[in-house]
Amino acid sequence: MVLRQGDDLFAQLAGLAEAEAIPAASLTGFGFAGQVTFGFFDFATSQYRPRGWQDVEIASLTGSLAWRDGQPALHAHGVAADAEFRCFGGHLLGLVVGRGSLELTITLLPSWLERAVEPSIGAQVLQLGTQPG
């Protein structure tokens, strides 16, 4: 999949998952981000601490696409670099493609995968061996 300037990664992947009835997938990618927000999970609050950047290069993006409550659920992490070659990254909370493109390789998985809150940690965790709702 190739996304262009202004495309929202989360919206585009959700649309693809729904249109193609993808049971689950893994993905990798790289390219340009006009806006990217990473988060660091705070286990004390069960919340992500977000931080955003603009006009960076996504050096690496990896993740999985599953389902949660009947909706596509992307879980991705990435590394971005600025013009000074400083790198930063973490859990991907949002990404809008910048000038250029974002290239994704999506590998379909045959089994349906769901995400659910793991009570002991208060975070979404991939559940193996689930069936579509």
At residue 5, the pLDDT reads: 98
d(CA 68, CA 75): 11
Q: What is the largest CA-CA distance in the chain?
A: 47
List the single range of 38-42, 70-74, 129-133 with lowest mean pLDDT: 129-133
Q: pLDDT higher for 133 or 21?
A: 21
At residue 82, the pLDDT reads: 97
CATH architecture of 2-127: 2-Layer Sandwich (3.30)
Whole-structure pTM over 0.85, yes or no? yes
Q: Where are the domains of the chain?
A: 2-127
124: pLDDT confidence band, cut at 50, 70 and 90? confident
In sequence order, what are the residues at sequence separation of 6 or more whose Cβ sits closer than 8 angstroms to the Cβ of residue 83? 55
Tell me the pLDDT tens digit for each residue of 56-107: 999 999 999 999 999 999 999 999 999 999 999 999 999 999 999 999 999 9
